[in-house]
Amino acid sequence: MKNPIAERIVDFLKNYPPFNSLNYQELSHIASEVKVLYLEKGKILFQIGEACHDSFYIVASGAIGLSVTSDAEETIIDKCDEGDILGLRPFFAKNNYLMTAKAREESIVYAIPIHIFQPYVLSNPDVMNFLLESFASNTRNPYDKEHRGKLISENIIYKEQQADIQYFQSIQYSKEPITASPEAIVRDIAQMMTDKLIGSVIITKDDFPIGIVTDKDLRSKIATGHFEITTTAAKIMTSPVVTVPEDLSLAEAQVYMLKYNVDYLCVTEDGSDKSPVRGIISENDLVVAQANNPGVLIKEVKRAQSAKDLKRIREKLSELIETSVTKDIPLSHIMNISGEINTAIIRRAIDLAILEMGSPPARFAWLSIGSQGRKEQLLLTDQDSFLVFEDVSQDKYRDVKDYFLRLARRTTSTLEKVGYFLSPDGFVSSNMIWCKSLTDWIKQYNNWINTPGESSEAINTIFFDYEIAFGETSIEEAITEIIFKNVKGNKLFFDYLGNDALKKPPPLGFFRQFLVEEEGENKDLFDIKTRALTPLIDAGRLLVLHQNIKGINNTYMRFKQLAIVDPRHSELFLNCAEAFLTLSEFRTVEGLKNDNSGQFINLEELSKTDKVKLKNCFIPIKEIQELIKSRFKLTYFS
In eight-state DSSP terms, residue 23 is -
Cβ neighbours of residue 443 under 8 Å, at least 6 residues apart? none
Which of 213, 220, 171, 172 minimizes the C-alpha distance to 196? 213
Task: Find the DSSP H helices in 358-472.
Answer: 370-373, 394-418, 438-450
| Residue 555 pLDDT > 80 | yes
Task: Find the DSSP H helices in 102-174.
Answer: 114-123, 125-137, 160-168
pLDDT band at 558 (very low <50, low <70, confident <90, very high): very high
Reported as a single tens digit per residue, the pLDDT across 56-93 is 999 999 889 888 765 455 666 677 888 888 888 777 66
> How many alpha carbons fall within 13 Å on the CB side of residue 65?
16
| Residue 510 pLDDT > 70 | no
Q: What Rg, from alpha-carbon coordinates, does the chain have?
A: 29
pLDDT band at 138 (very low <50, low <70, confident <90, very high): very low
Mapping DSSP to helix (H, G, I), strand (E, B) and coil, where does residue 33 land?
coil
Q: Which of 130-134, 221-225, 342-346, 379-383 has the weakest average pLDDT?
A: 130-134
Rounded-to-integer distance, Cα 254 and Cα 263, Å: 10
| Residue 313 pLDDT > 50 | yes
| Residue 323 pLDDT > 90 | no
Q: Are 335 and 374 in contact (CB under 8 A)?
A: no
Can you give the pTM of this predicted structure? 0.64
What residues does 508 pair with on adjacent strands?
514
Alpha-carbon distance values, 627 to 489, 491, 550, 616, 638 (Å)? 18, 16, 21, 18, 15
Q: What percent of the chain has pLDDT over 70?
A: 87
Cβ neighbours of residue 608 under 8 Å, at least 6 residues apart? none
pLDDT of residue 286: 77
Burial grade of 513 (CB within 10 A; 0-12, 13-18, 19 or more)? exposed
Rounded-to-integer distance, Cα 37 and Cα 58, Å: 10
Q: What percent of the chain has pLDDT over 90?
A: 46
Rounded-to-integer distance, Cα 352 and Cα 207, Å: 52
Which of 250-259, 325-334, 385-394, 593-602 has the highest average model confidence (pLDDT)? 385-394
pLDDT band at 261 (very low <50, low <70, confident <90, very high): confident
| Residue 386 pLDDT > 90 | yes
Q: How many other C-beta atoms lie within 10 A of the C-beta of residue 111? A: 18
pLDDT of residue 352: 94
Which of 361, 356, 357, 430 minimizes the C-alpha distance to 391? 361
Q: Are 103 and 41 in contact (CB under 8 A)?
A: yes
Task: Taking residues 277-298, report their average pLDDT.
Answer: 77
pLDDT of residue 253: 80
509 or 400, which is more confident? Answer: 400
Rounded-to-integer distance, Cα 90 and Cα 520, Å: 58
Q: How many other C-beta atoms lie within 10 A of the C-beta of residue 609? A: 8
pLDDT band at 160 (very low <50, low <70, confident <90, very high): very low
Reported as a single tens digit per residue, the pLDDT across 446-467 is 999 988 866 545 678 889 999 9
Which of 177, 338, 191, 205 minimizes the C-alpha distance to 267? 177
pLDDT band at 511 (very low <50, low <70, confident <90, very high): low
What residues does 425 pair with on adjacent strands?
none
Is the bond into 119 cis (omega within 30 degrees of 0)? Answer: no
User: Helix axis angle, 534-546 relative to 570-594, nearest 10°?
Assistant: 140
Torsion of CA 201, 204, 209, 211, to 10 degrees: -60
Rounded-to-integer distance, Cα 398 and Cα 419, Å: 31
pLDDT of residue 363: 95
Residue-averaged pLDDT of the chain: 85
Rounded-to-integer distance, Cα 217 and Cα 89, Å: 25
Reported as a single tens digit per residue, the pLDDT across 601-614 is 999 899 989 989 99
Rounded-to-integer distance, Cα 349 and Cα 302, Å: 10
Alpha-carbon distance values, 91 to 6, 54, 66, 436 (Å)? 23, 9, 18, 55
pLDDT of residue 472: 92
pLDDT of residue 145: 40
| Residue 545 pLDDT > 60 | yes
Q: How many helices (H) and strands (E) does the chain have?
A: 24, 20
Reported as a single tens digit per residue, the pLDDT across 203-213 is 999 889 999 99
pLDDT band at 170 (very low <50, low <70, confident <90, very high): low
